[in-house]
Amino acid sequence: MEPTESMPAQTRPPGVATADPGSVLLPGHDVPLGRYTTVRRLLPQRTRRMVGAWCFVDHFGPDDVAQRPGMEVPPHPHTGLQTVTWLLDGEILHRDSLGSVQSIRPGQLNVMTSGHGIAHSERSPTVHPPLMHGLQLWVALPDPARAGAADFAHHAELPRWRDGDLDVTLLVGELAGERSPARVYTPLLGAQLALAGPGPVGLPLRRDFEYALLALDGAAEVDGVPLAPGALLWLGAGRDAFTVRGEPGTRLMLLGGTPFDEPLVMWWNFVGRSHEEIAAAREDWMAGRRFGVVAADPDPP
């Protein structure tokens, strides 16, 4: 990712969709990740840097990897953030400098908290499913968590329920009286929504949150705005609810949170507050300090 200037949280987008004065459609762009994977980067963009503390969203697949290695991302560093990994198809093996070695499969959640610094790698196993499809998201850590200890958690079981024609899986935060086991450091929400019927269906929202919806697969219409797979619809803040219509089987990711009020500088795999912090992180990584070694990974960093 290209370096960006210091960026305060945004509470309103600079442009709006005419069909809904509280929303703006963000199409994303393709970015190569590792040796064999191309992702659609949906955050950050010039018109929308963050949604709550969500500061980075990559959507990959669905890709046919039956005759290919799949994901191959060698050891690399992180600081100042959490990585949140969610799969719809496939399998990825996570290794990190804490000694964690953990496979993730569809319906499971990996949350890695970098704190002051951690290194990890992400790879498809040698024998892997033929399809790969999922999300890699980052959460900006506030003070003082961003200077704290690193951590990794795998959640095989998450809250799931049906609300009318809507199947909900809660990744992080709280929704409809349910709470995810994943630890977060600011008020935050991540939930997969799957349409079991044509709708309309909806969910209550918090007025102090800002929200966005990502189309994972299938065609949907959100409050009258068409949403195609691989696009992100910024819903804004101050909403009580939204409604969705679409084909049965359509899956969406709902992201939300209170506006993040600490300015950020993002460069490569680092989230900081100043150019000097980012430069120090890069220097430490190049010198073999701070981030540790992913000992279980055969490739060099």
Say whether pLDDT at 284 is over 50. Answer: yes
Mean pLDDT over 16-29 rounds to 61
Tokens matching residue 3: 């370096």
Residue 162 lies in a domain: yes
Q: Does 59 count as an annotated binding residue?
A: no
Q: Which two tokens stand for residue 156?
A: 């095989």
Is 122 labelled a binding residue? yes
pLDDT at 8 over 50: no
Element (H, E) at 212: strand 210-217
Residue 35: count other Cβ atoms within 10 Å of its Cβ: 11
pLDDT confidence of residue 202: 87
Q: Average pLDDT, stretch 147-172?
A: 97
Q: CA dihedral defined by 273, 274, 279, 285, rounded to 10 degrees?
A: -10
- Give mean pLDDT, residues 88-109: 97
Say whether 120 counts as a known binding-site residue. Answer: yes
> How does residue 150 score in pLDDT terms, banded at 50, 70 and 90?
very high
155 is in an annotated binding site: no
| pLDDT given at position 192 | 98
Mind listing the pLDDT tens digit for each residue in 28-83?
888 877 666 788 999 998 888 999 999 999 999 999 999 999 999 999 999 999 99
Average pLDDT of the residues of the chain:
90
Flag whether 5 is in a domain.
Answer: no
Q: Is 11 part of a structural domain of the chain?
A: no
CB 218 within 8 A of CB 16: no
Max CA separation in the chain (angstroms): 55
Element (H, E) at 24: strand 24-26
Helix locations, the chain, DSSP H: 275-286
The 10 Å CB-count burial string (b at 16+, else e) for 226-250 is ebebbbbbbbbbebeebebbbeeeb
Structural domain total, the chain: 1
Domain membership flag for residue 140: yes
Classify residue 4: in a domain, yes or no: no
Q: Tell me, yes or no, whether 67 lies in a domain.
A: yes
**DSSP H or E segment with residue 86:** strand 81-89
**Token output for 235:** 């819903």
CA distance 217 to 231: 10
Percent above pLDDT 70 for the chain: 92
Find the angle CA(166)-CA(24)-CA(187) to the nearest 5 degrees. 60
* CA 268 – CA 18 distance, rounded (Å): 34
Which residue type, as a one-letter code, is found at position 183?
R
How many CA atoms lie within 13 Å of 247's alpha carbon, on the beta-carbon side? 11
DSSP state of 20: B
The CATH number covering residue 283 comes to 2.60.120.10
pLDDT band at 227 (very low <50, low <70, confident <90, very high): very high
Q: Does the residue 263 lie in any domain?
A: yes
Segments forming the whole domain that contains residue 126? 25-287
16 pLDDT above the threshold of 60: no
pLDDT of residue 34: 65
For residue 53, the model assigns a pLDDT of: 98
**pLDDT given for residue 22 in this prediction:** 63
Question: What gap in Å lies between CA 291 and CA 55, rounded to an integer?
Answer: 21
- CA dihedral over 260, 262, 265, 268, signed as positive or negative: negative
Q: Helix, strand or coil for residue 185?
A: coil
Note whether residue 296 is domain-resident. no
How far apart are the C-alpha atoms of 19 and 222, rounded to whole Å? 10
